[in-house]
Amino acid sequence: MTSSGWAVYWLLRDTRDTLNLLPPPPTRLACISQGGGAEFLKGVDMAKPISFGGRSFKTKKQAIEFCRGLLSSGFLGVGDQKDLASLLELHPDYEEKAGPGVEMFYLDKDPWGKTCFHIQRVDGTTDNFSYLACINGANSPLQDFMAACRSAVVEDINAFRAAALAATQACPVSEEPLTGENCHVDHTYPNTFKSLCLAFLGSLGAEPEDYPIAKDGYGEAFQHKEHADLFREYHQEHATLRLLHKRVNLSLGDRRPALD
Query: Is residue 23 included in any domain, yes or no?
Result: yes
Query: Are 112 and 149 within one domain?
Result: no
Query: Are 50 and 113 within one domain?
Result: yes
Query: Are 15 and 122 within one domain?
Result: yes
* 32-36, 136-140, 173-177: range with lowest mean pLDDT: 32-36
Query: Is residue 260 included in any domain, yes or no?
Result: no
Query: Is residue 197 included in any domain, yes or no?
Result: yes
Query: Are 160 and 119 within one domain?
Result: no
Query: Is residue 101 included in any domain, yes or no?
Result: yes
**Mean per-residue pLDDT for 183-199?**
94
Specify the pLDDT at position 168. 84
Specify the pLDDT at position 251. 82
* Residue-averaged pLDDT of the chain: 82
Name the domain boundary from 81, 115, 136.
Answer: 136
Query: Are 12 and 121 within one domain?
Result: yes
Query: Are 185 and 131 within one domain?
Result: no
Query: Is residue 258 included in any domain, yes or no?
Result: no
Query: Are 40 and 130 within one domain?
Result: yes
Smallest CA-to-CA distance from 181 within 105, 76, 72 is with 72
Specify the pLDDT at position 93. 87
> What are 220-252's pLDDT values in tens digits?
899 999 999 999 999 999 999 999 998 898 887
Q: Residue 167 sits in which domain range?
A: 141-252
Specify the pLDDT at position 216. 65
Q: Return the CATH number at 32.
A: 3.10.450.40
Query: Are 97 and 67 within one domain?
Result: yes
Domain count, the chain: 2
Name the domain boundary from 93, 111, 136.
Answer: 136
Query: Is residue 128 included in any domain, yes or no?
Result: yes
Q: Between 46 and 141, where is the model more confident?
A: 141
Which of 27-31, 130-134, 221-225, 255-259 has maximum average pLDDT? 221-225
